[in-house]
Structure formats: C-alpha cells, structure tokens
Structure 1
C-alpha cells in the first residue's frame, strides 16, 4: 500500500526508479541534475517536490545527496481527495508538476520522517493514510493555512485526523476526540479552531457529510443504508443534515449527478 525510502547517490538515466505502487512522489532534499520523463527533462533543485503521473518511467540523471521516493496506492490518493475538494487536488498527478518548499522544507521532511517511523512501527492503514494526506496537502500548497504551524502542531493535526477518520461514523461528540488526543475538551476546541480555522463540531460534521456525498454519488447503497452506515438513528436526520451542509436536498443532489 505504501513504500517510502531515502535515496542518495549517483543516478544514470539508463536505469529507472522502481515504483512499487502507481502514485509517485519524488522529494529532492539536496541534489542536482535532471528528472527524465517521457514528457521531457525537469531540473532538480534543493527542496523541490515532484508529483509524478502514473504513466511513464521515472529516470534520474543526477547526483542526489539526500531525497525521498514515496509510492502508494490509488486508494490512499482517494482518501486524500475526500479531504481536499479543491479541483487542483484532482489534477495533482494528472501531469508532472512540482512545488518548491523553500522555507517550509524542514517541516515537510519532518512529516516524511514521521511517516517512515510510523510505517516501521506498523501503524494501521487509516493512520498512514492521514499521514500521506497531510504531507500531500502541505507540500502541494493545498493546505497553505498550515504553513504557520510548527512540526509538533502538524503531528497533533495528524493524530486528530487519524482518530476522526477511524471513528467519525460512530462518534459525534467532541469529548470522545479530546480523550483520544489526551486533551481537555476546551483545549482541543481551541487548538483546531486556531490551527484548522474551524470548530471541532464543524470538522466532525464535515467529515460525515463528505462521506455521505461520496456514497450518494454511487448506486451501491440505498439512502436508508447510507444513513445506517453513517450512524444516523433515522434516515430523516441524514436528509436534514445533508441539506444544511450542501444547500440542496439529497434528491436534488442525485439528480444533478445524473444518478
């Protein structure tokens, strides 16, 4: 599902980097040379992150002092998209693109180092998925509001998101998440409002509704089944909450989707 390795040394374009999984990210911490793709050659520089499309071999003609090679499955990318509704998120790997971390590089490397430790510690997949999503959002600039956060705060955000991802279908009260974070409820409320810019209750509700929107976009489940999956005691509660969140009824939403 995920492979992350540190890379260094001299690379020749005759030999491609091995990609275990289709979604590929190359992070150049220190290095010079070229990333060679079918679409052309792209210059390497320190603190540059490449988001590489599925098609085409990845070759380097370079001297790398330090870098990271991250590959993961499409399902983990889907988890990222569920949290990032910005159209730019959907096109992040559509063609080769890159971002320069510059002054924010230390925190990005810290997130990758933490991801490596979590992989080695056999953390569960939902947690690792949140770790990847946080890194992608931060490194691509889609989560630009996190730029002012310290590495410790980013790790706290990761922990909160991982707990939320695991329990949002069954736990609606902030006290549960505060206990999981080892914080008092008011401290957690203040933290997420300051760092993420939303109230704790809004973050919980938004995650439930994003999943509702995802499930309603397919014909795999009836609306009653979706309400049960998402922990609503009655289907009418799903109807009510979805209209408040989306500004349209479920019937209108499905009609607009052509379902």
Structure 2
C-alpha cells in the first residue's frame, strides 16, 4: 500500500524546543511546507486553522469545503486532508498533541469541544467579519507567544488555546443545527461507540456486537445514535467502512477485490453494491474519478 504521509509536529519546527505544540502565520506555514500540504496527508495531532484572506478548497476525508475569509477548520488525528488555493491565503494555524492540552487541564478532554467530539460533527466554522476580528486576535496571541522565549511559555500557550477553543465553541454551537441539548450520557456512549467501531469495523458489522461491547441493548444504542446523529447504529458503522474504502481506493495500490477483503467482505460483488448504494457510484468509478 502507498501509505498516506502521517505528519508529526517535530517535522514543522525542528529548531523549536516544543515538540507538542506548533503555531505559524498561515502563508509562512504554506511556503515552508509547500511540498506536502497540497497532497493528501494525515496528522498525529489536533489542528486548528483560521483564514482571514484567500479562497480555495479544503478536502477532508473526501468531503470538500470552500475556503473564504472567516473560515475556521478543525482536524482530529488520523483524518486525511489537503489544500488547494485560488487566491493566496492569510491567517494563522496551530496544532498540538492531546497530551499538551490534557496535561494542563487534568479533568478536561479535547473531546469536550464539539468540533473534536465526533467525526460526524462538521469540521469547520464560518465567522462573520466582527467574529473574525475577535478570533483572529486570539490566534495572534498564540502565535506571538509561541515565538517568544518567556517563562511559563507552555502554560500560557495552553491557556490561550483553551480560551480560543471556548470562544470558537460558543460560535460553533450558535449554529441552528448544533442547538439541541443532548444528554451527557448519550454523548459519552456515542464517543465510546465511535472508539469501538474504530477497533472492530473491519471484522464486525452488526449493531448487536457494538451494543454488547457497550453493555446496552441494541435498541437503546440505536436510540442514542438517532438522538445524537440522526442515524442508525448500522449507518454509523457503514460510514466508517466506506471512509476507509475510499482511502484505500485512492491511496493504496491494492486491487478493489483486495480492498474488499481487507474490509471484511469476501464477496466483492456485495461490497461493490453496498458502496454504490451509499455513494451512487461503484468503487471502480470512484477510483477513476480520483485518478
């Protein structure tokens, strides 16, 4: 398989003493890393970027989002993405490991923030002109602190990052689609479900299996899936399978039959039918589209 590059923070700022946090002016970041950012790649860290100028597209796990002034994007470890720009971008970018944040906020997790909670939550936010001015100030503060060598640097970066995420969460949850208040226990179960699916989706396809892993009934798990994502448990499982199928089709040299087998389908005809029923095109047509 032709592996998708997985980038580590230390690849971006080797001269910096910090190995778990990085920040930069976005145009400078693009110029420094122009050989990799326009090709599909993954990160092993959490990433947040703000655009104050420019236009283009940002592809995240085969979904394409427009870039415009006020665009904010959030990526979790393992997601595949690439940038394409029509007009020169300006803004700020920062990323960090989960340990960096959780070391300073012992009772908090990054998944408390809705944009990092679930892969099903939109990975972007579009700010108004007024909102952009405020949030850009936060990103500038982070970037300024990063390039200074002052005492308590990591503590301040962690605090500024937390404040930025809080401000972004307030704006993110102001979207109509995000207004519903969900039970914390439902959200915890959803997160646990996604984690278990990540471990077993290649071999286990039934909702019953995941319900048993969570020690709840299939009916209750389906109720939680519907309440949180408006999808059935089976739909969530299949979406994860198809995402991996797309990654393998585009980024590996495996045959379509081999990809089907890797994902637990010995009958390629069945896998192809499933793929088409969800994407409207066959695996072969999808491969040709990206070639």
TM-score range, shorter chain: 0.5 to 0.7
1:74 is the counterpart of 2:43: yes
Residues 82-116 of structure 1: CA distance to partner in whole angstroms, max 9, x if unpaired?
Answer: 4x835269972774279xxxxxxxxxx99981359
Q: What is the deviation of 1:208? A: 0.7
- C-alpha distance in 1 between matches for 2:178 and 2:191: 12
1:216 equivalent among 249, 255, 270: 249
**Partner residue in 2 for 1:196:** 229
Q: Secondary structure at the match of 2:222?
A: helix
Preserved contact between residue 217 and residue 254 of structure 1 (Cα < 8 Å)? yes
- C-alpha distance in 1 between matches for 2:225 and 2:173: 18
**Partner residue in 1 for 2:19:** 20
- C-alpha distance in 2 between matches for 1:17 and 1:131: 30
1:85 equivalent among 53, 63, 69: 63
**Partner residue in 1 for 2:196:** 163
Structure 1 residues not aligned, in runs of 5+: 4-15, 26-36, 41-52, 57-72, 99-108, 117-129
**Partner residue in 2 for 1:233:** 266
Provide the TM-score with structure 1 as the length reference: 0.54
Structure 2 residues not aligned, in runs of 5+: 1-6, 10-14, 33-41, 48-59, 75-82, 84-90, 95-103, 125-164
CA spacing shift, 1:38–1:239, aligned 2, 3 Å: closer
Preserved contact between residue 111 and residue 135 of structure 1 (Cα < 8 Å)? no
**Partner residue in 2 for 1:7:** none
Q: Secondary structure at the match of 2:273?
A: helix
1:96 is the counterpart of 2:92: yes
**Partner residue in 2 for 1:243:** 276
- C-alpha distance in 2 between matches for 1:38 and 1:243: 42
Preserved contact between residue 178 and residue 185 of structure 1 (Cα < 8 Å)? yes
CA spacing shift, 1:19–1:91, aligned 2, 3 Å: farther
Residues 205-224 of structure 1: CA distance to partner in whole angstroms, max 9, x if unpaired?
Answer: 11111111111112421112
1:114 is the counterpart of 2:109: yes
1:206 is the counterpart of 2:214: no
- C-alpha distance in 2 between matches for 1:198 and 1:143: 22
Q: What is the deviation of 1:136? A: 9.0
Q: Secondary structure at the match of 2:275?
A: helix
Residues 33-85 of structure 1: CA distance to partner in whole angstroms, max 9, x if unpaired?
Answer: xxxx6479xxxxxxxxxxxx6889xxxxxxxxxxxxxxxx814569xx44x83
- C-alpha distance in 2 between matches for 1:143 and 1:228: 43
CA spacing shift, 1:234–1:85, aligned 2, 3 Å: same
Preserved contact between residue 193 and residue 210 of structure 2 (Cα < 8 Å)? yes
- C-alpha distance in 1 between matches for 2:30 and 2:106: 23
Q: What is the deviation of 1:245? A: 1.3
Provide the TM-score with structure 2 as the length reference: 0.49
- C-alpha distance in 1 between matches for 2:261 and 2:17: 43
